[in-house]
C-alpha cells in the first residue's frame, strides 16, 4: 500500500529478507497505526470523513522517514472570503496534493489537520492565474486581528498583512507596493514560502524577498509587538500546494 501510494524510501536500497520482502525495523503498534490511517483514508467519504490521529515525536519521525507526513496529516484551506453572489466560487481537491481553483478573488488560511505542529514551509505550483497573493497576517499583542478581505482586497493589501503578489510581480506590505524586477510568474512557476523568522519567499529557487532584511529593493520591517504569523492566500485561478514541511513541535 505504501509503495503504490507514496514516493520515498521504497527502493532497492532498503533491506530485504531472503524471500525478497522488505525488512521494516519499526515498532509494530506504531507502524500498524500508520497503515490503519492509510486504510481509513482510502475509503473515507463526506459523511464518514477521515480523522487524523494524535501522534507523538516517534510517530512523526517515522512518517518523515517514509516521506508520508502529508498522507497522514494533510493540509487544507479554510475559506475566509469568497463572493456570495458567485456559485461554486471555490473548488478544493484535497489529498497528498492540495489543488485549489477559484472563479473570483477568494482568500484562505492554510490549516494542518489532526495535530498542532506549525507549518514551516510549503510550495505553490502556479497554474493559470489572474491573481495570486501569498503571504501572512500579523497577529499583534496576542489578540487575533480582524481582516476585512473582499473581492478587491487580499492578503498584503490590508494593514498588518504582507504578501508576494505573483499577478503583479511585486511585494505588498499593508497596501504598499514594491516592484520585483526580473522575476517572471507563469504557468509552472514554483513559489516556496518559508514561515520562519525571517520569513522568505523563493521563486523557482531564487530568493526574492524576506522579513527584516534587504533583498534587492525590498525592505520589510517587523515591529517588536508582532508575536506570530498566520499563512494567508488570496487568489483567482488555480494552483497546487505541495511539499508542506512541519516544525518538530507537537
Considering the domain architecture, whether residues 214 and 100 belong to the same structural domain is answered as yes
Please identify, among 36, 52, 72, the residue that sits at the C-terminal boundary of a domain.
72
Q: For residue 88, what pLDDT is reported? A: 82
Considering the domain architecture, whether residues 99 and 150 belong to the same structural domain is answered as yes
3 state DSSP class of 164: strand
Please identify, among 72, 94, 114, the residue that sits at the C-terminal boundary of a domain.
72
215 φ/ψ sector (left φ>0, alpha ψ -120 to 50, else beta): beta
Considering the domain architecture, whether residues 48 and 110 belong to the same structural domain is answered as no
Exposure letters 139-157 (e unless 16+ CB within 10 A, then b):
eeeeeeeebebebebbbbb
Q: For residue 217, what pLDDT is reported? A: 42
Please identify, among 72, 107, 123, the residue that sits at the C-terminal boundary of a domain.
72
pTM: 0.73
C-alpha cell at 171: 511585494
d(CA 121, CA 236): 22
d(CA 48, CA 205): 40
Q: For residue 249, what pLDDT is reported? A: 55
Q: Total domain count for the chain?
A: 2
Q: For residue 218, what pLDDT is reported? A: 45
Considering the domain architecture, whether residues 66 and 80 belong to the same structural domain is answered as no
* Phi, psi of 116, rounded to the nearest 5 degrees: -115, 20
Tell me the residue range of the domain where 174 lies: 75-246
Considering the domain architecture, whether residues 102 and 140 belong to the same structural domain is answered as yes
Task: Say if CB 225 and CB 140 are below 8 A apart.
Answer: yes
Considering the domain architecture, whether residues 125 and 217 belong to the same structural domain is answered as yes
Considering the domain architecture, whether residues 158 and 221 belong to the same structural domain is answered as yes
pLDDT-flagged residues of the chain (< 70): 1-14, 95-96, 113-117, 140-145, 211-228, 248-250
Considering the domain architecture, whether residues 184 and 113 belong to the same structural domain is answered as yes
Considering the domain architecture, whether residues 115 and 55 belong to the same structural domain is answered as no
89 φ/ψ sector (left φ>0, alpha ψ -120 to 50, else beta): alpha
Q: For residue 183, what pLDDT is reported? A: 78
Q: For residue 221, what pLDDT is reported? A: 43
Considering the domain architecture, whether residues 131 and 226 belong to the same structural domain is answered as yes
CATH number at residue 167: 2.60.120.920
**Residue 47 contacts by C-beta under 8 Å, 6 or more apart in sequence?**
none
Considering the domain architecture, whether residues 134 and 151 belong to the same structural domain is answered as yes
Q: For residue 86, what pLDDT is reported? A: 79
Classify burial at 188, counting beta carbons within 10 Å of its beta carbon; exposed 0-12, middle 13-18, buried 19 or more: exposed
Q: For residue 236, what pLDDT is reported? A: 93
d(CA 59, CA 81): 35
Q: What is the pLDDT of residues 72-129, one digit of tens each?
A: 887 788 888 888 887 788 887 776 678 999 999 999 988 776 666 677 888 999 999 9
What are the start-end ranges of the H helices in 121-225? none
Amino acid at each position: 500500500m505504501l509503495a503504490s501510494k507514496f514516493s520515498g524510501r521504497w527502493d532497492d536500497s532498503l533491506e530485504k529478507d531472503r524471500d525478497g520482502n522488505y525488512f521494516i525495523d519499526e515498532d509494530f503498534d506504531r507502524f500498524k497505526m500508520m497503515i490503519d490511517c492509510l486504510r481509513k483514508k482510502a475509503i473515507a467519504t463526506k459523511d464518514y470523513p477521515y480523522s487524523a490521529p494524535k501522534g507523538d515525536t516517534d510517530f512523526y519521525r517515522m512518517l518523515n522517514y517514509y516521506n508520508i507526513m502529508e498522507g497522514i496529516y494533510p493540509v487544507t484551506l479554510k475559506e475566509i472570503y469568497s463572493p456570495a453572489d458567485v456559485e461554486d466560487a471555490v473548488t478544493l481537491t484535497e489529498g497528498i496534493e492540495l489543488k485549489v481553483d477559484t472563479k473570483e478573488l477568494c482568500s484562505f488560511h492554510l490549516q494542518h489537520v489532526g495535530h498542532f505542529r506549525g507549518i514551516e514551509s510549503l510550495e505553490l505550483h502556479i497554474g493559470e492565474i489572474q491573481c495570486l497573493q501569498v503571504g501572512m497576517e500579523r497577529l499583534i499583542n496576542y489578540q487575533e486581528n480582524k481582516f476585512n478581505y473582499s473581492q478587491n482586497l487580499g492578503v498584503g493589501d490590508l494593514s498588518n498583512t504582507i504578501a508576494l503578489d505573483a499577478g503583479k510581480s511585486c511585494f505588498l506590505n499593508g497596501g504598499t507596493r514594491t516592484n520585483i524586477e526580473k522575476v517572471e510568474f507563469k504557468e509552472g512557476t514554483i513559489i516556496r514560502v518559508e514561515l520562519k523568522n525571517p520569513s522568505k519567499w523563493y521563486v523557482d529557487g531564487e530568493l526574492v524577498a524576506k522579513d527584516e532584511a534587504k533583498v534587492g529593493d525590498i525592505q520589510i520591517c517587523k515591529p517588536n509587538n508582532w508575536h506570530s504569523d498566520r499563512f494567508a492566500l488570496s487568489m483567482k485561478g488555480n494552483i497546487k500546494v505541495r511539499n508542506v514541511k512541519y516544525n518538530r513541535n507537537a
